[in-house]
A and B are shown apart, each in its own frame.
Chain A
Amino acid sequence: MAEQLALLPGYLTAHLQLVLVSLLLGTAVSIPLGIFVTRRKSLEASVLGIASVIQTIPSLALLAIMVPALAAVSAVTASAFGVELRSIGYAPALVALSLYSILPILRNTVTGIAGVDASLIEAALGVGMTDRQRLLRVELPLAMPVIVAGVRTATVWVVGTATLSTPVGATSLGNYIFSGLQTRNTTAVLVGCIAAAGLAIVLDQLIRALEAAARRRRRSWLVATLAAIAALYAVTAASFAWDRLGSPERSVTIGSKTFTEQYILSEILAGRIASHAGAPTRAVQSLGSTVAFDALRSGDLDLYVDYDGTIWATIMKRDRLPSDRAEVTEAVRRFLQDEHGVTVIGSLGFENTYALGMRAARARALGIERIGQLPPVAANMEIGGDYEFFQRAEWASIQSAYGLAFGSERSMDSSLMYQAVARGEVDVISAFSTDGRIAAFDITLLEDDRGVIPPYAAIILASPKLAEEMPAVVAALEGLVGSIDANAMRRMNLAVDRDHRSPAHVAREFLHGLQD
């Protein structure tokens, strides 16, 4: 608990950075746009239509789309003005959240102004107001409660949706939730949820109080609520300044994907860099798989651990697998260096492959030890896999190589798969071979008797910039090559997943025991 709460100031200010700025942008766009639309009735339907369409895009997807969208924009600005935009982290989350906040404010601005009684509009004209005076003195003040209701709706949405910006690399209260779900840390998930809900309530009530004070003309209330809101913005501005000025030294940005092993490995990299290169590090956690690679290539990330089979299948888009292990490793190294300038520092020493797993008792009862024995019974079975699995090239090659057709497929969070197969809720899962829960839940991995599943050696990848600017960091990390075998990795994963130790703690223990 104390460990989780220690993270709160950082996550909360990062969350505020996203929420307050995106609401400011959203409001700054929506209210003028709403006013404009009430003046050009012909545009109203189309503008509201576009805003509604944005709103119907699932928020997680909208956030994810912003990464390639910003990368594309960045490519244009880079060639035109020499300005590169960061395509992961704060920027894509900010753009998506700002877009997301537009509809409720825009819609309420339009309906609020349209709802002003026609006799009052005529009275405003009758007393000699110009169009502008009518807007500022009559229409906006009368529409204000409705507009403010829209801002409040947007605020609650944005506070909630901002927790989903973790996978695009923006730190937020969502870091608690994403890493908590992955490492089965309920406390972290709860702290994240309660903090986000609390923040939503506080902001909502502040805006409500501000509007009520303005409407009832209570000067003291107005000053108090404005001061509170100003203080929040000041804290946010200060945190931006701190982020920028606080570490003038170049820090090394280390990424991790969304599972336990990745959290541990990123902590190990960070610890090794701290002790052997003395450079400050920064963690960007819970990234989507391709988000991480794109970020590394563009230099938004300096380091992360990937698996060569994943690069082979998803980045190089090869489907045929050479049987020679060394050939894959070498091809991946050459490809990354030549095509993307990405350096492979080396293999950590273990493989984490996809493997089909069954509850041990069930596999024994059916007499199944190899994938080749599955096809006759698969039609009556359900297979569970992580979000990526059923889309991946490996799954397609497993299916075609073995003639395998399951009765049904179910995507679920990778942290829940093991429990699901252990309880018999699904029959087979796409396990990760190093996952500690394989032993913990007594799961049997089936042998890939036709050698279809590519090897997935864990490799440390370094961005083109890092290799160039900080050779000492690369040298420090070379000391980790070959230092973690599959058993060691499995033990560390289990310590986090079953024993609820923090990834940082497990990483510290590992580094402590590492012979230099």
Chain B
Amino acid sequence: MIELVSLCKRYDHATAVENLSLQVQHGELLILLGGSGSGKTTTLKMINRLIEPSAGRVEIDGRDTREFPGHELRRHIGYCFQQVGLFPHMSVAENVAVTPELLGWDAERVAQRVDDLLELVELEPPTFRDRRPDQLSGGQQQRVGLARAFAAEPEVVLLDEPFGALDPLTRDRLQRSFHHIRRELGLTAIFVTHDMIEALLLGDRIAVMHEGRLVQVGTPGELLRRPADDTVRELMTMPRRHAEVVDRFLSD
């Protein structure tokens, strides 16, 4: 279980996250939803201490994350970056293998894990293993980024818009396979997005953020039926309208 307790992040002239408390259950996928500047990425980075909170704390399975050295903590939490951040001087396989190697896995286990993960993200290992990131399309890079996040068999993964750069069809396919993988591995995940449809499709629960504050947390159904305020209601009108359009075409 991940517990965020009164998390704050203040900069000199601005507050990015204000007094945010949340719980994520074991095996649950929580969506952090909000517009740009709502503080969702900052919140995500405070969980693995890429950003240190100004106040409050994060507990994972009851232990304060500050008990561990930052790099130890991060080796056990998968992270998928919005800008992907593949290391350009390393091959696809080396990128995926980074964290397992830092953890001192033996070479055979690392190689096996890399191939399994490349298959999981639908990149045939023989074709892609030795490519350099600059030889991949944007979508392929994001898939490698995803594989890297899962590589060290973490129990918790943090994902920052991992499907942002994909075309709709690939995105849909990957979203579904991601959904499947996560269930299978029983991963606890926090997933940042500003895409409503993605939130509704993937999230066990959705936490809506606005201007650094948590507005509402609930299941997709609760958010659709009982939006806490206008921000949430507005966010929910768009998928509703899309659904109505599709409905209308189908009923004609």
Instruction: Please give the residue numbers on chain A whose beta carbons come within 8 Å of chain B beta carbons, in ascending order.
Output: 119-120, 122-130, 133, 137-138, 141-142, 215
What residues of chain B lie closer than 8 Å to A142, measured between beta carbons?
87-89
Q: Which B residues lie within 8 Å of A215 (CB)?
A: 89
Is there a chain A Cβ closer than 8 Å to B60's Cβ?
no
Contact assessment for B102 and A127 in the assembled complex, using a CB-CB cutoff below 8 Å: yes
CB of B85 closer than 8 Å to a CB of A: yes
CA distance A138 to B89 in the complex (A): 8
Contact partner of B50 among A122, A129, A133, A138, CB < 8 A?
A122
Selected from B74, B83, B84, the residue in CB contact (under 8 A) with A128 is B74
Chain A contacts of B71 at CB under 8 A? 125, 128-130, 133
Identify the interface centre among B50, B73, B87, B148: most chain A CB within 10 Å of its CB: B87
Nearest-neighbor residue (CB-CB) of B158 within chain A: A126
Contact A126 B79 (CB under 8 A): yes
B interface, over-half SS:
loop
Is the Cβ of A122 less than 8 Å from the Cβ of B85?
Answer: yes
Which residue on B lies nearest to A217, using beta carbons? Answer: B91
For residue B188, CB closer than 8 A to chain A, the reply is no
Could you list 13 A-B pairs, sorted by A, with CB under 8 Å? Answer: A119-B81, A119-B83, A120-B87, A123-B87, A126-B74, A126-B79, A126-B81, A127-B74, A127-B79, A127-B102, A128-B76, A129-B71, A137-B87
Residues in A neighbouring B102, C-beta threshold 8 A? 127-129, 133
Q: 10 nearest interchain CB pairs? A: A123-B85, A128-B75, A128-B74, A126-B79, A119-B83, A119-B85, A141-B89, A127-B98, A130-B71, A127-B99
Which B residues are CB-close (under 8 A) to A127? 74-75, 79, 98-99, 102, 148
Q: Residue B48 at the A interface, CB < 8 A?
A: yes
User: Chain A CB within 10 Å — which of B98, B102, B103 has the most?
Assistant: B98
Most buried by A among B48, B76, B83: B83
In addition to A119-B84, A123-B85, A130-B71, 14 A-B residue pairs with Cβ atoms within 8 Å of each other are A120-B87, A122-B50, A122-B85, A123-B87, A125-B50, A125-B70, A125-B71, A126-B79, A128-B74, A129-B98, A129-B102, A133-B102, A137-B87, A142-B88
Contacts of A123 in B (CB 8 A): 81, 84-87
Chain B residues whose CB sits within 8 angstroms of the CB of A128 once the complex forms: 71-76, 99, 102-103, 152
List residues 84-107 of chain B with CB under 8 A from any CB of chain A: 84-89, 98-99, 102-103
B9 to chain A, nearest CB (A): 16
Most interface-central of A119, A122, A128, A137 (chain B CB within 10 A): A128
A394 CB → nearest B CB, Å = 65
Q: How far is the CA of A133 from the CA of B72 in the complex (A)?
A: 13
CA A464 to CA B152, docked complex, whole Å: 74
**Nearest residue, chain A, Cβ from B80:** A126
Closest residue of chain A to B151, judged by CB?
Answer: A127
User: Which of A126, A130, A141 contacts B48, CB < 8 Å?
Assistant: A126
Instruction: For B86, list chain A residues within 8 Å (CB).
Output: 123
How near does chain A come to B243, taking the closest CB pair, in angstroms? 36
Assembly CA distance A233 to B181 (angstroms): 56
A120: chain B residues at CB < 8 Å are 85, 87-88
Once the chains are docked, how many angstroms separate the CA of A122 from the CA of B71? 12
How distant is A140 from chain B, measured CB to nearest CB, in Å? 10
Whole-angstrom distance between the alpha carbons of A128 and B151 in the complex? 12
**Cα distance A75–B50 in the bound complex, in angstroms:** 55
Q: B75 contacts which chain A residues (CB < 8 A)?
A: 127-128
CA–CA, A125 and B99, complex, Å: 11
Evaluate whether A125 and B87 lie within 8 angstroms (CB atoms) in the complex, with A119-B81, A133-B102 already known. Answer: no
Q: Could you say which residues of chain B place their CB within 8 Å of the CB of A129? A: 71, 98, 102
Which of chain A's residues have a CB closer than 8 A to the CB of B83? Answer: 119
CB under 8 Å from chain A, chain B span 137-160: 148, 152
Query: Given the complex of chains A and B, what is the CA–CA distance between A128 and B71 in angstroms?
Result: 4
| Whole-angstrom distance between the Cβ of A146 and the nearest chain B Cβ | 13
A359 to B70 Cα, complex, angstroms: 84
Chain A residue at minimum C-beta to C-beta distance from B99: A127
Known contacts A119-B83, A133-B102; is-contact A126 B50 (Cβ 8 Å): yes
Give chain B nearest CB distance to A126 CB in angstroms.
4
**A126 near B85 (CB under 8 angstroms)?**
yes
Give Cα distance in the complex from A133 to B84, angstroms. Answer: 19
Cα A138 to Cα B84 in complex, Å, equals 15
A115 to chain B, nearest CB (A): 13
User: Inside 8 A of B103's CB, which chain A residues have their CB?
Assistant: 128
For residue A188, give the distance in angstroms from its CB to the closest CB of chain B.
47
Distance to closest chain A CB from B73 (angstroms): 8
Q: Kindly list chain A residues whose C-beta atoms are within 8 Å of the C-beta of B84.
A: 119, 123
- Please indicate the chain A residues that have their CB under 8 angstroms from the CB of B72 in the complex: 128
Distance (Å) between the CB of B158 and the closest chain A CB?
A: 9
Shortest distance in angstroms between B177's beta carbon and chain A's nearest beta carbon?
22
Q: Interface centre among A125, A129, A215, by most B CB within 10 Å? A: A125
What residues of A have a CB within 8 angstroms of the CB of B79 in the complex? 126-127
CA distance A467 to B75 in the complex (A): 74
Identify the closest chain A residue to B81 (Cβ): A123
Interface residues of B in 53-76 (CB under 8 A from A): 70-76
A138 to B95, CA, bound (A): 11
Closest beta carbon of chain B to A273's beta carbon, Å = 61
Of all chain B residues, the one with the shortest Cβ separation from A124 is B87
Closest to B88 in A: A142
Nearest B-chain residue to A126, judged by Cβ: B79
Shortest C-beta distance, B191 to chain A (Å), equals 16
Chain B residues with Cβ below 8 Å from A126 are 48, 50, 74, 79, 81, 85
Among A119, A123, A138, chain B packs the most CB atoms within 10 A around the CB of A123
B110 shortest CB reach to chain A, Å: 14
Minimum CB–CB distance from B93 to chain A (whole Å) comes to 13
Q: How far is the CA of A133 from the CA of B99 in the complex (A)?
A: 11
> What chain A residues lie within 8 Å of B76 (beta carbons)?
128
Q: Which residue of B50, B70, B71, B86 has the most chain A CB atoms within 10 A of its CB atom? A: B71
- Name the B residues within 8 Å of A138 (CB-CB): 87
A129 to B103, CA, bound (A): 10
Complex Cα distance, B97 from A137, in Å, reads: 13
